[in-house]
Amino acid sequence: MSFTDIDLARLLIALAVLLVAAHGVGALFARFRQPPAIGEIVAGLLLGPSALGAAFPDVQHWIFPAIGSSAAALGAVYQLGLLLLMFAAGAEMRRLMQRNAVRTVGLIAAFGLVLPFAAGLGLVAVLGVGNFIGTAGNEAALILVFGMAVAVTSIPVISRIMHDAGLLGTRFSRIVLSVAVIEDIVLYVILAVAIGLVQARGGEAFGVPTALNIHGVTQNSVYHTVVAVLFLGVALTAGGRVYKALTGMRQPLMRRSPVAVQLLWMLTLSAGALALGLVPLYGAFVAGITVAVATDGEFVRERNALMGVSFGFFIPIYFAIIGIQLDLIHDFDVVFFLGFLAFACVAKAASVYLGARLSRENKFMSASLAIAMNARGGPGIVLASAAYAAGIINQTFFVSLVMLSIITSLAAGSWLERVADKLAGAGPHAPRESAEVSGKVRAT
């Protein structure tokens, strides 16, 4: 496909418009202490069929064409933004894991993940898959995504909210972030399995699944579950050492640009995950974890340089493009969304509250944990966008999942802003020690 001057003009204009809108609305949200990533999605929403497309459809279609070379190039930027977002999320894992309040973290993670997931499976069994299934037509993958949509919690969004509220370093924040780490790892394992099922069943699989002649729902489920867990396990045990050994070699690339080495590592693990039949974003996520483990404070400037480019350009555009994909006029089922919102929030909050109470947290702390962990943020949006791109869910359910992430993140932020002072010194479970969390966590 040739790339003409008009295609290049459309691409450059689209990128410029997306960048200005994403940062502008994101900054506005940040000013009111709301997650900038939500503002970036709203910026895309204003540029999409719900606003600009409704008022000036010809302008919207010219800047953001659905097909053609410029659309393909914009899609490549979108995919790279997703990989960099997952790499950044993985890099945050080591810094956010804490060894405090083991009993509370264990019970909340168990109840707050298993029960909502089971509730989601029960709901989709009652409603049926017909109203949600995407073009891939894979019911098993849809069921997994539906369950995780109810159970997921966002690390970056809730981290930024607690940062702005002055709660980072408190016992409350350590509990929330420790549980969220566990939930996010489980989320990406299940997402890798779900997309692997679609790729294998749809005849698009290559690499190991094709070589082993993996077929059928049962074989695919077992294969992708085992491979996803093994991939993470090997990365956690040996990946950091391998990466450190590579950076220790005096090869020209390391001397010239450590940032390029990190990018190469991310791309290699992403491609490796794809060859194994897993989703590439899972490889990028694992790559981020291994880099964080290997460097452990080293190459901070290089990592910050990579994150600066990622959060300055690629990731805001990724979130803005998600907003463009939302058509609230034609694909937003308000009745279903309100019901799903209520169900998901009650299922998640009740499960977290139960786990907290069983771990002997007081009612106020338990309620605050339940509300905070309802924020689905970036992981919920990644779940929705990846599942929609793979054809697991349809447009209507995609819109509902993104809106669920937006509303729950805003609600959690509003609550924590109100009760921040009380949480900082709440009752018998007030902070027993000072713990400083270095750096500023980006809201995704």
- In the three-class reduction of DSSP (H, G, I as helix; E, B as strand; rest coil), residue 231 is classed as helix
> Are 285 and 265 within 8 A, CB to CB?
no
Structure confidence at residue 3 (pLDDT): 76
Examine the pLDDT at 203 and tell me if it is beyond 60: no
Alpha-carbon gap, residue 195 to 237, rounded angstroms = 25
Mean pLDDT, rounded, for 341-351: 96
11 pLDDT higher than 60: yes
| Domains, in order of start, for the chain | 5-419 (1.20.1530.20)
- How many CB atoms within 10 Å of residue 395? 16
pLDDT averaged over the chain?
Answer: 83
Cβ atoms within 10 Å of 439's Cβ, excluding its own:
12
Contact 107, 356 (CB under 8 A): yes
pLDDT at 431: 39
* 364-385 per-position pLDDT tens digit: 999 999 998 898 877 888 899 9
The pLDDT value given to residue 222: 81
- Tens of pLDDT, residue by residue over 286-340, are 898 888 777 655 555 556 678 888 889 999 999 999 999 999 999 999 999 999 9
Q: Phi first, then psi: give them for residue 393, nearest 5 degrees.
A: -120, 160
Instruction: Give the three-state DSSP class for 168.
Output: coil
- Would you say residue 79 has pLDDT above 60? yes
| pLDDT-above-70 percentage for the chain | 82
In whole angstroms, what is the distance from residue 357 CA to residue 107 CA?
9
Structure tokens at 391: 């054809």
Tokens, residue 418:
């109100």
Distance of alpha carbon 307 from alpha carbon 302, whole angstroms = 9
Q: What's residue 391's pLDDT?
A: 92
Give the separation between CA 323 and CA 88, rounded to whole angstroms: 21
Burial of 139 from C-beta contacts in 10 A (0-12 / 13-18 / 19+): middle
Q: Which two three-digit tokens encode residue 207?
A: 């690499």
> Does pLDDT of 208 surpass 80?
no
Q: Which residues, at least 6 apart from 32, have a Cβ–Cβ distance to it below 8 Å?
A: none
pTM: 0.82
345 pLDDT band (50/70/90 cuts)? very high
191 neighbors 141 (Cβ within 8 angstroms): no
Show Cβ contacts of residue 18 under 8 Å, excluding neighbours closer than 6 positions. 43, 44, 47, 316, 317, 320, 321
